[in-house]
Every structure is written in structure tokens, then in C-alpha cells.
Amino acid sequence: MQKLRMLWARVRGQMAQAREDQSFDEEISEHLALLEARYRAQGMSAQEAARAARRQFGNVTTLKERQRAQRGILSPAEWGRDIRFGLRMLAKRPALNAAMVVALALGIGANTTVFSIVDAVLLRPLPYAHPERLVEVQSWQRMEGFESDSVCYPDFFDWRAQNQSFDHLVSYHDTSLTLTGVQRAVHLDGEVVSWDLLPLLGVTPELGRGFRPEEEKLGTRVALISHGVWVSQFGSDPSVVGRTIHLSGEAYTIVGVMPPAFRFPINAPQNSFWTTLAVDNDGTPKALTANRGSHEMSVMGRLRRGVTTAQADAEMKAIAARLSKQYPETNTKHDTARVESELRATLGDTRTLLLVILGAVALVLLIACGNVGNLLLVRAREREREMAMRSALGANRARLVRQLLVESLMIGLLGGAAGCGVAFAATPAVLRLIGDSVPRAADAGVNLPVLGFALAISLASSLVFGLAPAITSARGDLLSPLKEGGRGETAGRNRLGSAVIVGQVALGIVLTAGAGLLVTSFIHLARTSDGFNPDHVLTFLFETPDSRYANTRPQFYRDYFEKLRALPGVESAGGSILLPMTDNGAHISFENPEHPLPQGQWESATMDVVSPAYFQTMEIPVLAGRDFGDSDTVQSPQVMIVNQAFAERFFPGENPLGKKLRPGTSSGPTRPPAWRTIAGVVGNIRTSATDREMEPMYFLPASQLPNWCCLYSVVRTSVDPLSLESEARNLVASMDGDIPVTDVRTMRDRIGMELAQPRFAMVLLSAFAGLALVLTVVGLYGVMAYSVTRRTREIGVRLALGAPRGTVFEMVLRQAAVLLAAGTGIGIAATLGTEPMLRAFLYGTGARNPVVLAGVCALVAVTGLLAAWLPARRAMRVDPSVALRCE
């Protein structure tokens, strides 16, 4: 309380400085006049009385200065003087100061860049009403080598009916449909949701209305469209609400247009329409909305006011457990649920990755601060005489500390300003690197909060690197620097500088080791045999809508692939509903008569539906049996192909060919799942770049599953794959003008997109590690060079007394080696302690890879000793006669 009052008095005093100065002058002169009068009365002469009064009163100038400092927070005049003086000091050593500003600019720039991304991804709330009450609800299932959090509709309906925790609970899953009847057929991504999506999010449409509860009913087809589609396809026509449009051959009524900034889900900015879950209901018992075995949905909820995530989590777990008792056939493996904050669920591991990167970049700044601090220490040594002189002339210590802090602050702010420039330049480049591998990263930019952050870290760094030198030099004793020749020095006095170097080396080791692990992991990811050959492969997608192809799909695809294979430049072509290395996959259970289990506990594996020649096109080897062929039709014996991992997992030591299984995949509303004979075994392929092992997979022939849409076309070419794009588009258009071809990419591109996140993590961390290493080495060089300069006299004496030059050389190198060794030791310990944080992002290497660690230590040792080489040579070449004479 008393402190606050004092502060307030000072703040007020600051405002009234000038007036107070004047009245204080008056007070002092009155006091002096009274003193003088008293001495005159004792019989002194006027001159004597004046002198005695002054002696009695003390130093008027000092008092005024002290009074002024006590009165306000800062005195503009004094700070102005400090700043002017600081500027002169900066101008005096431009090279040294530029080195400091550059080091800081790199550190602050890197931090600001990373922070701009962290701000956009982690810190900004979701763009919905009361985002803190939004949660993701998952049906949690964990099996050997596989985990799933997707929900099935019947479970969702039960959750929605039974819970007490949520205001709204909404299911959603992505879809893509073809919009026809506009200028040209276009392929649109969209989302199938429950009716109350908009109330859940607290968003209202720009035009029209949201969905109504009855619009979830069988046969309803309504859509909300995005602002973008409204502009591009409907010319911003306000009468679009109520209009009927055709999506993949079905008539939908547009009920509303969403605002331009609306996005749902947050990581699907491309979504152009939203429709209700009525589209998943065909009225049969096999419909998605009725199938407790089809876990394909995500569920988002809005917590009731006052309900915590933990309470909701407990309630949903209880409901899931109840449902698993009620429906053992389907829910035995899905017997629990999980409620998690929506933002956290959206980000998943990415959050940890960003925090690791933020931590790494903070270390870089710390190293940069170390460098600047060391250079300031050097400068402080050079200025010892100046400080001693000023101190002797009456400057108090606080004044000197402040002077030095002002100078540090100026360097910090200059570095910060340059750092903002670096961030402006670097942020777009980093965003390109990230691509869409991090949700919301695209929103990042250097904005006001980010600049505020840059300012804050500039000030904080100034304190970090400025305080120690300021205090050290202000504490310095007065006499010795003033004495002649006081500059000579022996080893060991620059303890603070040495400690800083040791710390920098340690941090450098931690960063470089982390980068080394990510690089090792990335090389592993990029080089691992994926089981197929992604070169010269073009892939694209088009839809064959149920409205026209429900029964004729196999025929259509057979004709289409035949024509495709006939195009010049095409070596082979096939199709698959999922592409390897794209992190897609349906996990579907199957009945195995040799390993009977109750229905809810059937084994399951990733399933794919493919055309003939798909394996040939991807160069996936057929190891036993045969590929699918045109002879496999709906009427012919039902077959399947498994991969090697599947054969090993489910038929260990046996020949899987000829075995019969019944995958829970129906081939149409009227056809129940069929028993299938394993006709072939193919090599393993990686379904996702980040799979740690090859998953068991089975393949069904598209020709026997006419209800499954849509096959990705996969084309192996003898020419540049992308050069075939227009011919492929023309071919599809010639067969059906209402089918737009979409998502045209080479297989290499797809893998590149899949590796975007590991790649950007690797590139960023390597860049930071490189920066850290350079800063550390430069810092070490600086300290060694400085130490040699300071010891010139000592070295001269040694040489004059007959020390061999080689010994002097070794002495300097040994000093550097000791610093490096100490830093490396601490660094290794810190690395072993912190690297497990990276475990989730490492593939093909442990978190404590001795080869990486040894390599990093060798790198640091070699570059460090190189940095010490030059000063050591200079020390060796000291001319004793010159050294002894010069000081």
C-alpha cells in the first residue's frame, strides 16, 4: 500500500517537474540566505558567511539532482543525456555494435516468425461464439497397432439423446460432390452435419437461415453454401436462397449462404457447402445412419454453461460403457469415449511440435543474448577507465548502471527493429514450407500482437545481456583501472565470459542434436521403401455419382481404364479408392472361420478397393496368386487379395491362398457381405508416411463392389506425368460431360504434401541449430581473440623467458578446449534429458541416438577449435619486444 502511494506520488511528481524544480530552488536559496544571515550575525564577512553557508548546506547540484530523481520516475533531461551519450558510444564502435545488432536481429527475427505462427495456430481462439465451451467428443478404440476415435451414427444419436452435459452435440464428416447445372460442372468439398451446427457454433448465415431439426429426416436434401461458391457460381445473386441445385445428380434446396470468414471444420477452409445427415440415410437397415459398425463421423459439442470438460468426459465414458453392454456385437471394442477441448483435438501432436520449435527458437535467442552479453563485457572492460573516471568525478553507481542499461536497451531495440524486418521476410517463406500441414497456420502474419511480442523479447533480451556487464563494470574498483598499465591481465579473469561460452556450447549441442534427430528421421521417412514406385505416376479423382452409376460402375470403369491405357505416353493405369502415403484408410473388420470370435470382436485391417492393374501400375509386387482381372464380376466367385503383413498376422506360417474370409463390406443395399476367397498376396505398402510399421491390408475388386465410389485413377507414364493432365480430363469429359476431374497431382507431390510437417520441423530446427552453431562459434572466437589481446603482455613475458611458441599455441587452444569440453558435457546431459520430447516426431531413430549425438559433439568440437585456431596462432606470433614495450 505504502509502495503504491509512493509510486503515485512519483508519477504526479513527474508531471510537475518544472514547477517543483522552481519552488525547490526558491526553498534552497531561502535556506542559504538564512544560514548566511546567521553567520553574518556571528561576525563573519559577507564572503566568509556565504562560503560557510555552502559548506554547511552541502553540494547544491547533487542535492537538486537527487531531489529530481526522487521526485519523479524518470527525468527526461537525464535520460535524454543518457540516450545521446549512448548514441555516441554506438557510433564509436560501429563494427562491434553492428555485430551485436545482427546477432540479435537473427535471434529476435526467428522468434518473432515462430511466434507469429504459434499465435495464429495455438493462441487465437476458434472463430466461433464462446470457443472455450467447444469440445470434441470421440469414441475411443484401441487395438493392436491401431487406434480410432471416429464415431458411428447410432452411437451419436444415443449420445445426443442421453447426455446432460451439452447444449448441442453435432456429428460431422467430409464429403465431396459435383455441382452441375451451373456454367461448368465443378467438384465441391463439403461437410455432412447434424441440423444444429450453426446454433452449436453460434454463427448465423449471411443470407437465409440455418438447418431445422426436421431437415435431418429421410429424403431431405438441403444445403448451406459458402460465400465463395455464392460469388463464383451464383454471381452473388441474393435470390439464391430457396433455389434448387444439383449435387452429384440429386436436387438440393439452398437454405442459406454463410459469411465470407466462416470455416467449418476449422482445418477445412476449402469446404464449400454443408448439408444434413439426411444424405447418409437411404432408408435401409444398412444405411450409414443405422450402422453401428461404421465409425466414420467426428462429433463436436458445446458444453452447457458451468459444465467442465472433465464432467462431460466422465458422463460420455459412462454412456459409452452402457452402450457397449447394450450392443455387444458392435460396441465391445468401442466401450469408452473421450472429451477434449476442440482446439486441442484439432491440433493434436502439432501443438507439441510447435511448442518444441518455440522452445528451440527461444534457445537461439538465448545464445544470441550470450554473444551480445560477451561483446558488451568486452566493451565494458575497455571502458573500465572511463567508468572509474566518472565514478571518481561523482557519478553514483545507479547512474552508471543506468547509463550502461540505456546503451543495452538501444542495442536491444535496434536488434528488435531489424528482427521485425527479418520476421516480415521469413514468415511467408516458413508458411510456404508448412503448406497445409498445420491447421490455421495460413492465418499467420506479422501483426500487432506479434510486434508487441518482438518488442517484449527485445526488452527482455536487453536486460538479459545488459544487466551483468552493467553491474560488473559499475562495481569495478576505482583505483586500479586508473593506474598506468592497468590493462595487463592474466588468464581466468573473464569468468563470466567463459561461463557464457560454456552455456552457449551446451545449448548449441541440445539444438543441433534435436535437429540431427529430425534430419535422421526425415531421411528415414523419405528413403524408406514404401512398397511402390511413386515416380512417373499421375493421380486424379472424379466422381461417378450414384444417381447414374449405382449399377453400371464396373462397366464404366472397365471402359474408362481401357481407353486410359490406350493414351500415348501411358504405360499402365488402374484405380484405387485410397492412395498409399496419404493417411487415408478405412479399417473394416472381417469374419475368419479359422479364428471364430463373437461379432463385436472380429479382427480388422485397413481395406482398399482397387481395379485390375492397380498393383502393376504402382509396381506393387504380386508375391503369390494373381491380380484381379476383368473376369472378376459381381456374378463370378467373390475374391480378395491380402498383403504380406496381413498374411503374417492372420495366417502365420500358412499359405493364405484359398482361405475364405467375410469382410463386413456389403456390395449393395440388397447384397449382404459375401464370403471371399484369397486369390493373391501382394507386397506391403505404407498407407501413411508416419506409419511406424507396415499395416496389414486387404484389397477387394472394385468390379465386385459396384456401390463403392470413387476410384482414384493412377497412371504410370513414360512421359512427364503432368503433361497428360489435359488428355485425361478430355477422356473423362468425353465419357460424361458432367463429371469434373479434380485433385490432379503426381504421386511424388502427394508424398511431399504428406511429409510437409516432418519436413518443416526438420528445416526449421536445422536452421535454428545452424544459427545457434554459428553464433556460438563466433562467440567463442570473440572471447578467445579478446583473451589473447588482453594477455599479449603476459604472453610476451612467457616468450621472453623462453617459452616455446608451440606451448603458447597449445595454451590458447587448451583454454578453448576446456570451455568446449565443459559445454559439451552439459549439453549431452541436457540433450539426454530433453530429447524424449521429440519422440512422437521421430521415425527410424530413437530419441537418444548415440551416432547423432557423437556426430553433433564432433561437429561442435571441430568448429569450436577452428574458431580458437586463429587467436591461438596470433598468440604464438606475439613479438615479445613489441608486447613488452607497448604497455
Partner 1 sequence: MDDKKMEVLQGTLDLMVLKTLSAMGPLHGFGIARRIEQASDGLLDLNEGTVYTALLRLQQQGWIASKWGTSENNRRARFYSITRQGAKQLERETENWERVAGVMQRVLRLERQA
Q: Which residues of this protein are in contact with partner 1, per CB under 8 A?
A: 2, 5-6, 9-10, 13, 23-24, 26-28, 30-31, 33-35, 37, 56-60, 62-63, 66-67, 70-71, 396, 398
Q: Considering the complex, state which of residue 68 and residue 659 has its C-beta at the smaller distance from partner 1.
A: 68
Q: Determine whether 490 is exposed, middle or buried from the number of CB atoms within 10 Å of its CB (0-12, 13-18, 19+).
A: exposed
395's CB contacts (< 8 A; 6+ apart) are: none
Angle between helices 495-527 and 850-876 (to 10 degrees): 140
Q: Considering the complex, state which of residue 28 and residue 499 has its C-beta at the smaller distance from partner 1.
A: 28
- Closest approach, Cβ 59 to partner 1, in A, equals 7
Collapsed DSSP state (helix, strand, coil) of residue 609:
strand
Going from the C-alpha of 786 to that of each of 465, 490, 781, 790, 837, the distances in angstroms are 18, 12, 8, 6, 38
Q: Considering the complex, state which of residue 404 and residue 808 has its C-beta at the smaller distance from partner 1.
A: 404
- Closest approach, Cβ 43 to partner 1, in A, equals 18
Rg (the chain; Cα; Å): 37
User: 676-682 and 622-625 as β-strands: parallel, antiparallel, unpaired?
Assistant: antiparallel
DSSP state for residue 552 in the 8-state scheme:
T
Asked if residue 424 lies in contact with residue 481, where contact means CB atoms within 8 angstroms, the answer is no
331's CB contacts (< 8 A; 6+ apart) are: 155, 292, 320, 323, 324, 600
Q: Considering the complex, state which of residue 13 and residue 825 has its C-beta at the smaller distance from partner 1.
A: 13
**Alpha-helical runs (H) found in 528-608:** 546-549, 553-566
Q: Considering the complex, state which of residue 67 and residue 616 has its C-beta at the smaller distance from partner 1.
A: 67
- Closest approach, Cβ 85 to partner 1, in A, equals 21
Q: Which amino acid is at 53?
A: A
Query: Cell triple for residue 832?
Result: 539426454
Comparing CA positions, the residue from 767, 837, 759 lying closest to residue 113 is 767
Going from the C-alpha of 588 to that of each of 62, 146, 150, 601, 670, the distances in angstroms are 86, 12, 13, 12, 20
**Alpha-helical runs (H) found in 652-746:** 725-735
- Closest approach, Cβ 6 to partner 1, in A, equals 6
Q: Considering the complex, state which of residue 2 and residue 635 has its C-beta at the smaller distance from partner 1.
A: 2
Q: Considering the complex, state which of residue 2 and residue 670 has its C-beta at the smaller distance from partner 1.
A: 2
763's CB contacts (< 8 A; 6+ apart) are: 433
Going from the C-alpha of 48 to that of each of 29, 35, 37, 41, 657, the distances in angstroms are 17, 12, 11, 12, 122
Q: How far apart are CA 145 and CA 143, in angstroms?
A: 6
- Closest approach, Cβ 46 to partner 1, in A, equals 16
**Alpha-helical runs (H) found in 137-265:** 153-162, 197-201, 227-234
- Closest approach, Cβ 376 to partner 1, in A, equals 24
- Closest approach, Cβ 779 to partner 1, in A, equals 35
- Closest approach, Cβ 55 to partner 1, in A, equals 9
Q: How far apart are CA 261 and CA 342, in angstroms?
A: 19
- Closest approach, Cβ 31 to partner 1, in A, equals 5
Residue 554, Ramachandran bin (φ over 0: left; ψ between -120 and 50: alpha; else beta): alpha
Q: Considering the complex, state which of residue 26 and residue 535 has its C-beta at the smaller distance from partner 1.
A: 26
Q: Determine whether 269 is exposed, middle or buried from the number of CB atoms within 10 Å of its CB (0-12, 13-18, 19+).
A: middle
- Closest approach, Cβ 66 to partner 1, in A, equals 6
Query: Cell triple for residue 693?
Result: 510399421
- Closest approach, Cβ 81 to partner 1, in A, equals 19
- Torsion over CA of 788, 789, 791 and 792, rounded to 10 degrees? 110
Comparing CA positions, the residue from 440, 375, 444 lying closest to residue 408 is 375
Asked if residue 530 lies in contact with residue 854, where contact means CB atoms within 8 angstroms, the answer is no
Q: Considering the complex, state which of residue 251 and residue 478 has its C-beta at the smaller distance from partner 1.
A: 478
710's CB contacts (< 8 A; 6+ apart) are: 541, 542, 543, 544, 577
- Closest approach, Cβ 381 to partner 1, in A, equals 26
- Closest approach, Cβ 482 to partner 1, in A, equals 19
Q: Considering the complex, state which of residue 20 and residue 340 has its C-beta at the smaller distance from partner 1.
A: 20
Q: Considering the complex, state which of residue 9 and residue 800 has its C-beta at the smaller distance from partner 1.
A: 9
Q: How far apart are CA 325 and CA 81, in angstroms?
A: 80
- Closest approach, Cβ 65 to partner 1, in A, equals 11
Collapsed DSSP state (helix, strand, coil) of residue 218:
coil
Cis bond upstream, residue 369 (ω within 30): no
Q: Considering the complex, state which of residue 9 and residue 818 has its C-beta at the smaller distance from partner 1.
A: 9
Q: How far apart are CA 726 and CA 741, in angstroms?
A: 10
- Closest approach, Cβ 401 to partner 1, in A, equals 12
Q: Considering the complex, state which of residue 62 and residue 631 has its C-beta at the smaller distance from partner 1.
A: 62
Q: How far apart are CA 388 and CA 587, in angstroms?
A: 77
Q: Considering the complex, state which of residue 24 and residue 234 has its C-beta at the smaller distance from partner 1.
A: 24
DSSP 341-370: EHHHHHHTHHHHHHHHHHHHHHHHHHHHHH
Q: Considering the complex, state which of residue 33 and residue 829 has its C-beta at the smaller distance from partner 1.
A: 33
Asked if residue 717 lies in contact with residue 705, where contact means CB atoms within 8 angstroms, the answer is no
Q: Considering the complex, state which of residue 64 and residue 729 has its C-beta at the smaller distance from partner 1.
A: 64
Q: Which amino acid is at 325?
A: K
Q: Considering the complex, state which of residue 23 and residue 164 has its C-beta at the smaller distance from partner 1.
A: 23
Query: Cell triple for residue 343?
Result: 482446439
Q: How far apart are CA 493 and CA 483, in angstroms?
A: 18
Query: Cell triple for residue 759?
Result: 519436413
- Closest approach, Cβ 169 to partner 1, in A, equals 60
Q: Considering the complex, state which of residue 71 and residue 263 has its C-beta at the smaller distance from partner 1.
A: 71
